[in-house]
Amino acid sequence: MVEHMKWWGWGQEGVAFHHEDKPNLAPFVMKVAGIDFSAPPVRVPELSELDVPASRAPESLRAAFVEALGAEHVHDDDLDRVVHTYGKSMRDLVRIRRGDFGRLPDLVLYPGTEAETEAALRIALEADAVLIPFGGGSNIVGSLEAPREETRPVVSLDMGRMREVLSLDETAKTARIQAGALGPDLEEQLNARGWTIGHFPDSFKHSTLGGWIATRSSGMQSDRFGDIADITRAVRVVTPKGLVATAEVPVQSTGPSVREMVLGSEGRLGIITEATVQVHRLAEERVIQAYFFPDYGSGLKAMQAIAASDAQPSITRVSDANETQFTLATSKKGSAVGQLLNKGVQLYASRRKGMDLSQMCLSFIGFEGSAAGVRRSKTIVGEIVRKHGGFGVGSGPGTLYDQKKFDTPYIRDFILDRGAYGDVSETSSSWTTLKSVHDNVVAAAEKAFAEVGVKGFIFCHLSHSYHSGACQYFTFAFQAPSDHDGLEVYDTVKGAIQQAFIDNGGTLSHHHAVGREHKRWIGQDISPAGAEIVGALFAGVDPGRNLNPGAIV
Ligand code: FAD
């Protein structure tokens, strides 16, 4: 059986965020965004209370899928169709809780093999139905929904039955893995043999290999292992033109890369059934060190120097002052993070290092590999941190951060229950523009909050460093006004942030993809001619616009 996330929120049923053991958090969010944690939670309706439009699938289409996949793998019940309607952006969560389902899929298909996937696509094309591949449903850019006005039958094709590691080549250090494998599925199978893929997005537990490839995902340890685009060596994709299988080689000079075309294609070219990925031996040693910098600017310069050095960290991350304050506020009483700014550290930072405590920025740097390699990298990083006015506070907070990282997303549902909206936007830009992108994005969001008359806050961290620049990841939240629609405010703030990315030399997304959410910036990002070429590629492969029409361009 394929398990899904809650239809109305993030993650598993029965798991939720709570704040009672984090005494500083409620006063902090009240002060910065007027979000009242003591407000009684808004009740999430039962699905049975909402008006779920009936499936419009013609009986002949259903029968054809049943013949190809078996009756138990063709679903049309309300819950299954609702779960496959949207991803997990704030917009998706708000709409689904309101019972605003848009154009629900009429059928949900669960193929178990590549041959069944081919049969499903063939049937969909013959019937001129829309087919949308579904991985874990964790995307936050609206890349799963059918156009509202779609009159053709819509089917969601869930890859959840295809989750095996098919083979492991210990010489080439590659593994063939089915596209429906969730992060834990493939890591458990690889770990059992002493290997790891090294790809850990925050959504790791609920997203799939196929989804990572189709959105060009990036994981926390990308500094060492690369983004999914680097990790993916070869793909097998069921397309309207037939099966595409790229060669399992390290690099190819064979014209424009078909493998690269599939990366980020969001289901518009076909269904990825499996991929060959680079894997690594489990590391001998793994540690995340915490550091403080006097301010964000010096933290950024230190990350740049680390990227240019001989150190090989797995994670480079530095929070701006606002995110640092938030992280400290979320710490449990007496925890390692709570101890980060204890009296001794405060005195050391202010008296010995001359830091302004309100401007201090927290950084986590991860190291993994051989004990000797880790030691060497740590020494180099320690020197760079000192040169940039920072100091280390040990590995305890980093260990805790590592353990808790997959729990953080539950906080969005918690604040939404209290009438507050929160979401993220991320971009990459060059080291030259990084600080101005940060400052201008924060200014744009604050201006947007002021214009719509809400109290809100925005904070940011750098993660994922490269030779020429890095990713910056912004989180914003606000209390929805009582007199108008919170989604309108969300649009204004999110739109201002995205436009500021483009206007200041950033891209519309470093790793969350385009979907429908970011589509209006695609021409400004890759140029109008670039967007036309991408559109022509999709039209060439899928002239009937049957595959996830409406995503990207
Ligand atoms: P889905 O959401 O199911 O689908 C996404 C797109 O891929 C759709 O267009 C779909 O049609 C297509 N697709 C899915 N499977 C296939 C397939 N087999 N063949 C063809 N097309 C397919 N992203 C990151 O990169 N890094 C992060 O750290 C990260 N953290 C997140 C944290 C939270 C709380 C949330 C909500 C999201 C986060 N994301 C992150 C975004 C999201 O998890 C990624 O975009 C992820 O790659 C989506 O994978 P999925 O399997 O859930 O795909």
- State the Cα torsion 195-199-202-204 to the nearest 10°: -60
Tokens encoding 177: 């893995």
For residue 399, the model assigns a pLDDT of 84
Q: What is the distance of C-alpha 267 from the center of its chain? A: 17
Which of 4, 15, 88, 139 for a ligand 1 pocket mutation test, highest count of atoms within 8 Å of Cβ?
139
Q: From the CB of 473, is ligand 1 less than 6 Å away?
A: no
Q: Which residue is associated with the tokens 């942030």?
A: 497
Q: From the CB of 218, is ligand 1 less than 6 Å away?
A: yes
Q: From the CB of 452, is ligand 1 less than 6 Å away?
A: no
Was 295 annotated as part of a binding site? no
Nearest of 144, 164, 141, 139 to residue 154 by alpha carbon: 144
For residue 81, the model assigns a pLDDT of 98
Residues 6+ apart with CB under 8 A from 95: 86, 101, 102, 487
- Residue 256: how many CB atoms within 10 A of its CB? 7
| Closest ligand 1 atom, residue 138 Cα | 52
Contact 253, 240 (CB under 8 A): no
For residue 91, the model assigns a pLDDT of 96
| Closest ligand 1 atom, residue 266 Cα | 9
For residue 338, the model assigns a pLDDT of 66
Query: Phi and psi (nearest 5°) for 275?
Result: -140, 150
Nearest of 516, 517, 436 to residue 469 by alpha carbon: 436
**Burial degree of 164 (CB within 10 A; 0-12, 13-18, 19+):** middle
For residue 183, the model assigns a pLDDT of 98
| Closest ligand 1 atom, residue 513 Cα | 45
Query: For 387-488, where are the E strands, in sequence order?
Result: 391-392, 420-430, 456-465, 469-479
For residue 144, the model assigns a pLDDT of 97
Report how far ligand 1's centroid is from the alpha carbon of 491 (Å): 21
As a whole-number percent, the residues of the chain with pLDDT over 70 amount to 99
Handedness of CA 403, 408, 413, 415 (dihedral sign): positive
Contact 121, 71 (CB under 8 A): no
Residue of 110, 291, 473, 490 marked catalytic:
473
Was 138 annotated as part of a binding site? no
* Overall pTM > 0.90: yes
Contact 254, 340 (CB under 8 A): no
Cα(223)–Cα(494) distance, integer angstroms: 28
State how beta strands 154-158 and 130-134 pair: parallel
Q: 337-344 long-range CB contacts below 8 Å, 24 or more apart?
A: 337/397, 337/400, 337/401, 339/396, 339/397, 340/290, 340/292, 340/393, 340/397
Residues 6+ apart with CB under 8 A from 484: none
Contact 208, 159 (CB under 8 A): yes
pLDDT digits (tens, 9 = 90+) for 313-368: 999 999 999 999 999 888 777 676 667 777 778 888 888 888 999 999 999 999 99
Order across the sheet with 165-169: list the strands: 165-169, 174-178, 271-278, 232-239, 242-245
For residue 14, the model assigns a pLDDT of 87
For residue 24, the model assigns a pLDDT of 86
Domains, the chain, ordered by start: 47-158 (3.30.43.10), 165-281 (3.30.465.10), 285-404 (3.40.462.40), 410-513 (3.30.300.330)
Tokens encoding 209: 């290999």
Q: Whose CA is nearest to atom 45 of ligand 1?
A: 139
H or E element that contains 95: helix 90-98
- Residue 115: how many CB atoms within 10 A of its CB? 12
Query: Phi and psi (nearest 5°) for 62?
Result: -60, -45
With b for 16 or more beta-carbon neighbours within 10 A and e for fewer, the 25-51 pattern comes to bbebbeebbebebeeeeeebeeeeebe
Active site residue 490: no
Contact 552, 522 (CB under 8 A): yes
Q: How many CA atoms lie within 13 A of 211 on its CB side?
A: 33
pLDDT tens digit at each of 553 positions of the chain: 899 999 999 998 888 888 888 888 888 999 999 899 888 888 999 999 999 999 999 999 999 999 999 999 999 999 999 999 999 999 999 999 999 999 999 999 999 999 999 999 999 999 999 999 999 999 999 999 999 999 999 999 999 999 999 999 999 999 999 999 999 999 999 999 999 999 999 999 999 999 999 999 999 999 999 999 999 999 999 999 999 999 999 999 999 999 999 999 999 999 999 999 999 999 999 999 999 999 999 999 999 999 999 999 999 999 999 999 999 888 777 676 667 777 778 888 888 888 999 999 999 999 999 999 999 999 999 999 999 999 999 998 888 888 888 888 899 999 999 999 999 999 999 999 999 999 999 999 999 999 999 999 999 999 999 999 999 999 999 998 888 899 999 999 999 999 999 999 999 999 999 999 999 999 999 999 999 999 999 999 999 999 999 899 9
Prediction ipTM score = 1.00
Q: Which residue is associated with the tokens 């910098």?
A: 293
Give the N- to C-terminal CA distance of the chain in Å, as an integer. Answer: 34
3-state DSSP assignment of residue 525? helix
Cα(342)–Cα(333) distance, integer angstroms: 11
Handedness of CA 541, 80, 90, 407 (dihedral sign): negative
For residue 302, the model assigns a pLDDT of 98
For residue 425, the model assigns a pLDDT of 98
Cα(312)–Cα(413) distance, integer angstroms: 36
Report how far ligand 1's centroid is from the alpha carbon of 327 (Å): 26
CA distances from 151 to 71, 89, 96, 225 (A): 25, 25, 21, 44
Calculate helix-pair angle for 90-98, 486-503, nearest 10 degrees.
160
Cα(301)–Cα(172) distance, integer angstroms: 37
pLDDT digits (tens, 9 = 90+) for 393-452: 999 888 888 888 888 889 999 999 999 999 999 999 999 999 999 999 999 999 999 999
- Looking at residue 225, its amino acid is F
| Closest ligand 1 atom, residue 208 Cα | 51
